[in-house]
Amino acid sequence: MLSQQLHYARLLSFPLLFATACEGASIDDRAAYAQGQQSAEPVVALPNREGSFKFGVLGDFGTGDRPQYEMANQMAKIHSRFRYNFVAMVGDNLYGSERPQDFRRKFEMPYKPLLDAGVKFYSSLGNHDAREQRYYKHFNMGGKLYYSFTPTPEVRFFFLESTYPAPEQIKWLEDELRTSTSDWKIAVFHHPLYSSGDRQGSDLRLRQVLEPLLLKCNVSVVLTRHDHFYERVKPQKGIHYFVAGSGGKLRRGNIDRQSGLTAKGFDTDLAFMVAEIIGDQMYFNTISRAGNIVDSGVLTRRK
């Protein structure tokens, strides 16, 4: 904890340095209709257009328990009709021991149908994750604690290590964001800058470090977790924030509905998010372990 505090103490002098730098059917019409009836809100269908960029978001999952396997089974069902080929992992990938047999039980076995289908998982690390996970081949981190990549020319992801965000990482991020020519800039890391969680909530110190840079360099979407539920935060200064922390762990009833931050929250079961980018718009559905669409929408990138 002292080490983490020292990292933040060093970082708090950095924000000012960087602030100036820079067609198809729904995946499941029946589930959409049922959930729409429950929420009295219209469900936004994923276009599921051929050739569009499709991806998933998963966090707090590696328990090896039955609920994780059930959520993974639902992910495979979704993939059979909505062919995402990439999953962004927002950390806490394995709970407990991390022996080779644990990686098999907590990752390779539950997600085998997706791995066999060629789906790539790209990871960030959470506070429960050993740093050595960056060498695990199925997490596609290339031995790096933070990295970026471009799955399609229009989209670039920036994966960060938010437990110990050293100044050199922030300088790297500034350089990467400033030189990126992609229309969509999406940041992926563990600790949420905005969250209504009673247990964890918003990380104010990290927000002080990162938010000026995300704003200046035109990041449109931030994917996080740490709190064990799903929350879509109301846009903050034009940026869309998601907390996707219930892929295998759940903190039931933990969303503070009085926070004023929540656009949509789901804290009664596990959930997984899928999205599709077409031009300047990103469509998204969040699906529960039971297969219900618990949130959906479409957002426009920042320009």
Look at residue 9 in the predicted model and tell me its pLDDT: 43
- List the structure tokens of 52: 């569009």
**Residues 248, 68: Cα–Cα separation, whole Å:** 4
What are the 10-residue block averages of pLDDT along the chain, 303 residues in total?
47 41 42 42 94 92 89 95 95 89 96 98 89 96 96 97 93 97 96 78 87 97 83 95 72 69 87 96 95 96 96
Look at residue 251 in the predicted model and tell me its pLDDT: 62
DSSP E strands, the chain:
53-58, 86-89, 120-123, 147-152, 155-159, 184-188, 221-224, 230-233, 240-244, 262-266, 271-278, 281-288, 293-300
Q: What's domain 2-22+24-300's superfamily in CATH?
A: Metallo-dependent phosphatases (3.60.21.10)
Look at residue 250 in the predicted model and tell me its pLDDT: 63
Pairing type for strands 281-288 and 271-278 reads antiparallel
pLDDT digits (tens, 9 = 90+) for 175-211: 999 999 999 999 999 888 998 775 676 788 999 999 9
Look at residue 20 in the predicted model and tell me its pLDDT: 42
* Angle at which helices 167-179 and 204-216 cross, to 10°: 20
**Residues 274, 69: Cα–Cα separation, whole Å:** 18
Buried b (16+ CB within 10 A) or exposed e, 254-291: bbeeebebbebbbbebbbbbbbbbbeeebbbbbbbbee
Look at residue 265 in the predicted model and tell me its pLDDT: 86
* Angle at which helices 2-11 and 167-179 cross, to 10°: 50
CB 93 within 8 A of CB 129: yes
